[in-house]
Amino acid sequence: MLIAQATVNGLVVGLLYLFMAVGFTLVFGVMRMVNFAHGEFYMLGAFSAYVLTTGLHLPFLVSVVLTLVAAIVVGGLLEYLILKPLRKDELNGMIVTIGLAMVLQNGALLVFGPDPLSMPAVITGTTRIGSIVIPNSRVYVVVFAVIILALLYVFLRYSRSGRALRAVVESFQIASIQGIPARVFYPLGFGLGVGLAAVAGALMAPLFVVSAFNGTTPLLKAFIVVILGGLGSIPGAVVAGLALGLIESYAGLFFKSSTADMIIFLVVIVMLVLMPRGLLGKGDV
């Protein structure tokens, strides 16, 4: 029974992690860039939802949609203005995102202060399936996460820009030979990636507290999910996200939580060494 509850917990949390990570892997797949500011966009998404809902009293879902749109636009702009000269330079591009992360986190600290803020719950109560309990707030997020991921899938598979992005992930050279303009797909890829981070943050804001320090955990989880699943592979991220959630949940049953964390990082290192491409990754190492 405990195992069953732990399994459900693990899958739910795994979906949350996947949702946090998918933007990260998209950015790496399209631009070969490790975006250290990924977590900060998640954090800003949460603040955006907070401000729009409690400050402007907009309905929650409206706030989420606005956050998504704003993040895509801002992300695209940032890419164009700041990251453009470093498009071919993986390492330095990554370091620039570190600088960006510093600016974003401390900017949020300046504006909102260090005290964690609490967002009013969107939905309360629990869902019970047999003896298994799932908080409704998490079900809510999971449902939307699945919807957004489905939309993402449709976009990547069937729309023109989506297919262009996928082509870039498959092979950069071939994509550019095909004449897909860099000035479009770079900002688009980055904007979409950080937009996904921001919308994850917005949806999850009512689950926990909203704080300028919230960005570290999504970044770490994204790292882990994406390394395990393969940098640039979205199906890989799906598998890895769920696996991570399950591993954490089961390990948490039998070990102290700190031991569980250690095991996960060990697995990550082993994975990077033995299978750097991850379970389903693409691109060269």
Partner 1 sequence: MSEMVKKMDRRAWGLKPSGLYAGLLLLLCLAAWPALMGPYVLHVAILVCLNILIVNGLSIIERAGQLSFGHSAFVAFGAYGSVLMSMHFGLSPMAGGVLALILAAIIALVLGGVILRLKGVYFVLVTFAFAELTRLALMDWADLTGGANGIAAIPAFELFGYAFDTRPRFYGLVLVAVAFSIILTYRIFRNPLGEAFRAVAENGALAESTGLSVYRLQLLAFIIGCMLAALGGVLMARYIGFVSPESFNLNVSVGLVTMLVIGGRGSLWGPAVGAIVLTTLPEVFRGALQTQHIFYGIALILILRFLPGGLAGVPGLLRGRQKVS
Partner 2 sequence: MVTRRISLTFGAALVVAAFTGLPAGASAQETLKIGAMVTLSGPGAAWGLAMKNGAQIAADEVNAKGGLEVAGKKYKVEIIAYDDKYQANEAVTVTNRLVHEDKVKYMIGPLGSAPAVAVLPITEKNKVITIMMAFTPKALGPDKPHSFRVCITTAEVSQPQIDWIVKSRNLKKVGGLFPNDESGQVIAKDLQKAYQHAGADLVAVELFERDRVDFVPLLTRMFAKGIDAIELDGNSPSTAGLIVKQARELGFTGTIARTGGPATADIVNVAGKEATEGMLVHTPLNPGLPSTKAYMDRYQATYKSPMNGFSPSFYDGANMLFEAMRRAGTVSDTDKVSHELENLKDFSGALGTLNWTGKQSYGIDHQLNIPFYVAEVVDGAEVIRATCSVDKCE
Segment interacting with partner 1, rule: CB under 8 A, options 97-105, 116-124, 129-137, 169-177:
97-105
One character per residue 74-113, x = contact with partner 2 (rule: CB under 8 A)? -----------------------------------x----
**What's the closest the beta carbon of residue 116 comes to partner 2, in angstroms?**
4
The number of residues that bind partner 2 (CB under 8 A) is 34
Interface with partner 1 includes 116 (CB under 8 A)? no
Contact in structure between 245 and 202 (CB atoms under 8 Å): no
Name the CA radius of gyration of the chain, rounded: 19
Q: How many CB atoms lie within 10 A of CB 69?
A: 13
Among 81, 115, 160, 274, binds partner 2 (CB under 8 A): 115
Out of 3, 4, 73, 99, name the contact with partner 1 by CB under 8 A. Answer: 99
Residues in CB range of 42: below 8 A, 6 or more apart: 20, 197, 198, 200, 201, 214, 215, 218, 219
- Segment 245-274, which members bind partner 2 (CB under 8 A)? 248-249, 252-253, 256-258, 261
Contact flag: residue 126 with partner 1 (CB under 8 A): no
Strand-pairing partners, residue 118, are: 209
Binding mask 22-61 for partner 2 (x = CB under 8 A): ----------------------------------------
Q: State the Cα–Cα distance between residues 61 and 203, nearest whole angstrom.
A: 9
Question: Dmax over Cα atoms in the chain, in whole Å?
Answer: 57
Measured CA to CA, the distance from residue 242 to residue 231 in angstroms comes to 16
One residue of 66, 121, 268, 279 binding partner 1 per CB under 8 A: 268
Q: Which does 61 bind (CB under 5 to 8 A by kind): partner 1, partner 2, none?
A: none
Nearest approach, Cβ of residue 178 and partner 1 (Å): 26
How far apart are the C-alpha atoms of 190 and 180, rounded to whole Å?
16
Q: Give whichever of 82 and 209 is closer to partner 2, judged by the CB atom.
A: 209
What is the nearest approach in angstroms of partner 1 to the Cβ of residue 93? 8
d(CA 250, CA 222): 20
Q: How far apart are CA 238 and CA 280, in angstroms?
A: 10
Question: Which tokens go with 263?
Answer: 């095991």
The dihedral formed by the CA atoms of 175, 178, 180 and 181, expressed in degrees to the nearest 10: 100
Interacting residues with partner 1 (CB under 8 A): 32, 34, 82, 85-86, 90-92, 94-96, 98-107, 109-110, 216, 220, 223-224, 227, 256, 258-259, 261-262, 265-266, 268-269, 272-273, 276, 285
